């Protein structure tokens, strides 16, 4: 099944822009820049949105303007407004269980403590949507998770995270065309082109 909506998760506002929790927004901003489209406020969706064309296929890009724990509100509204099924959606989010520099594709499953996913799953009543998990690493103790995700990564970790975003962007045409298994194989094996062959990163 082809992807028609790509939603990045994060918190709005400059105070959160460079935090680990906004890795999903980093992906959306990089993708929008590469596609030369501008995200515009869509109050009815509680989000910023833009239409792009990837590999000859139209896709909506979405950045919720709610805070992370209400991300599902915007995504559910967009699915309804654009008349799409959850299976048509790719949700891009930070993931504590993956190291910086690692990105993984997944369909269905639990929320793993990610509050944006938690809200979306609760609103939909299921988890049958695609995810792109962008690794941010784990601080080592659960009591440190909140300041970790809401903190800025060091220079090396940020470079690694943005590198994994580049690698994910390189397999996106396969994802868009519904060739999820092929995209997974390339991304998970590290077979995607390196940063020099992918779109420039938004800063």
Q: Which residue has the tokens 């639990």?
A: 110
Residue 21 among the catalytic residues: yes
Give the CA distances from residue 116 to residues 10, 43, 54, 94, 155, in Å, rounded to whole numbers and listed in that order: 8, 19, 25, 10, 25
| DSSP secondary structure of 160-181 | HHHHHHHHHHHHHHHHHTT-HH
The active-site residue out of 21, 130, 141, 188 is 21
Give the CA distances from residue 172 to residues 30, 61, 139, 148, 177, in Å, rounded to whole numbers and listed in that order: 13, 13, 29, 28, 9
Which residues lie closer than 8 Å to 14 by C-beta, 6 or more apart? none
| 53-129-62 Cα angle (round to 5) | 40
Give the CA distances from residue 120 to residues 137, 158, 172, in Å, rounded to whole numbers and listed in that order: 23, 27, 22
HSE-CB of 98 using CA atoms within 13 angstroms: 23
Phi, psi angles (nearest 5°) of residue 61: -105, 135
- Give me the torsion for CA of 124, 149, 185, 173, rounded to 10°: 70
The catalytic residues are 21
């Amino acid at each position: 099944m082809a992807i028609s909506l790509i939603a990045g998760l994060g918190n709005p506002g400059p105070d959160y822009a460079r935090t680990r929790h906004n890795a999903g927004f980093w992906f959306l901003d990089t993708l929008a820049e590469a596609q030369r489209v501008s995200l515009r406020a869509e109050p009815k969706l509680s989000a910023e949105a833009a239409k792009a064309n990837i590999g000859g296929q139209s896709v909506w890009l979405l950045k919720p303007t709610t805070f992370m724990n209400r991300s599902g509100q915007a995504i559910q509204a967009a699915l309804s407004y654009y008349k799409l099924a959850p299976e048509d959606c790719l949700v891009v989010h930070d993931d504590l269980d993956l190291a910086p520099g690692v990105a993984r594709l997944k369909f269905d499953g639990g929320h793993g403590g990610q509050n944006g996913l938690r809200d979306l799953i609760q609103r939909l009543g299921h988890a049958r949507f695609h995810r792109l998990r962008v690794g941010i690493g784990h601080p080592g103790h659960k009591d440190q998770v909140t300041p970790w995700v809401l903190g800025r990564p060091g220079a090396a970790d940020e470079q690694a995270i943005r590198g994994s975003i580049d690698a994910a962007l390189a397999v996106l045409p396969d994802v868009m065309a519904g060739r999820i298994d092929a995209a997974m194989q390339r991304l998970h094996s590290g077979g995607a082109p390196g940063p020099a062959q992918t779109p420039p990163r938004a800063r």
